[in-house]
Amino acid sequence: MHWVGTLPAFEAHPDFSVLIDQDQPVRLLTTILEKGTIPHALLFAGVKGVGKLTAAVIFAMACNCLGKDPGPVTDGDKRFQAGGTQPGSAEPCGRCRSCRKILSGNHPDIIFVQPSGNYIKIDQIRSLRSTLAMKPYEAGIRVVLISSSHTMNKPAGNALLKVLEEPPDQTIFILIVERVSELLPTIVSRCQHIRFNPVSREHIGAYLSEKFQFDTDTAMVLASVAKGSLIRALQISNSYGGQEDWMKMRSWLINEIDTLPSKPVGLVLAFAERLSKKKDILSDSLEIIKSYFRDLIVCRYSTEKIINRDFIDRIQHGSQKFSLNSLIKKIEEVESVLQKIPTNVNLRLSLEVMLMRLART
């Protein structure tokens, strides 16, 4: 069952410094490693795309790194014969046999569990328990990474709870989740919590500009709607075919919403039909619409916090058309449809109802 997904991409020398805006989580993790007091279970919580899995892999490397010398090494070097970690070793070397195996996804004692379909199922946890009944093959500390832990169904959650109540020797668990409230309270109580922060708008924008050559304006707009997630910023852009196509789509959506009150019913329904045919990008499209209404509210108090800054004149003008309560209700209408997307609801009908309500002044 080992790694069934792909590992994150790391810099040439992977360490906690690759994490952005995560000073507090890094401080907690390095303290744990420096003191050598590693708990049986850690719970990494925070929005998707802020480095939780990356941190988990670096932590697993640090627990099992065979050498800390940053210079050239070989597998035959005596420094790499001892297993496990010692107090004071907070960063992995990234070069030893253990680090290389973990980075390549080939370490037999770094076990990765992720949803099978929509859920982590009890058969996966049973398989995990069978693996944990045996001693680690070569690691000083075996690490079990459970991604999207909130997707465990109830039987799987209860089965994992039994493991956490009597954890195997030389084994730690790292559960990765967006919201702690989505896990069984009994599981949460057996883990040490590490909360990861949303990445700042400025750092996401700078990352997009430096790593992917986004122009500054596009990068900052994408950073604003990404809700603190680097991955989300890239996914939004890629889902539309790139930054230029995304900007065109956003401009079209804002123009359609801005002129909605003056449109005849037929055009409003046509707009709903077009949105419903793009289900793969519907969530992102609705988030753009929601950001526009949010800007209509925000511009009354602080223009510096407007997300769609390249539409500031239109936003300031449009803000005068609606009452504050009306704008709040419009945001709630959009959020209601966003929540329906994962279900089997008639999306076209939901979009028609939403747009007809949004068209009201």
- The reported pLDDT for the residue numbered 88 is 52
Q: Tell me the C-alpha distance between 357 and 332, whole Å.
A: 11
Q: What is the pLDDT of residue 76?
A: 37
Distance in Å from the first CA to the final CA of the chain: 56
Task: Reduce the DSSP state of residue 144 to 3 states and report it.
Answer: strand
CATH among 3.40.190.10, 3.30.1180.10, 3.40.50.10190, 3.40.50.300 for 16-195: 3.40.50.300
107: nearest Cα among 68, 154, 145, 149: 145
- The predicted pLDDT at position 74 comes to 39
Backbone phi, psi, residue 32, to 5°: -60, -45
Q: What is the pLDDT of residue 87?
A: 52
Under-70 pLDDT residues of the chain: 1-13, 68-89, 240-241
> Using DSSP, how many helices (H) and how many strands (E) does the chain show?
15, 5
What six digits make up the tokens of 210? 């430096």
Question: E strands of 240-318, at which residues?
Answer: none
Helix or strand (DSSP H, E) at 113: strand 110-113
Q: How many other CB atoms sit within 10 Å of the CB of residue 31?
A: 11
Q: What are phi and psi of 193, to 5 degrees?
A: -85, 135
Shortest CA distance to 128 belongs to which of 93, 101, 168, 97? Answer: 168
pLDDT for 13: 58
pLDDT for the residue numbered 5: 39
Closest residue by Cα to residue 283 from 247, 253, 316, 309: 253
At residue 3, the pLDDT reads 36
Single out the residue of 189, 110, 121 nearest to residue 159, CA to CA: 121
CATH of 240-358, one of 1.20.272.10, 1.10.645.10, 3.40.640.10, 3.40.50.80: 1.20.272.10
Instruction: List all residues 6 or more positions away from 193 whose beta carbon is below 8 Å from its beta carbon.
Output: 42, 43, 45, 180
pLDDT of residue 194: 96
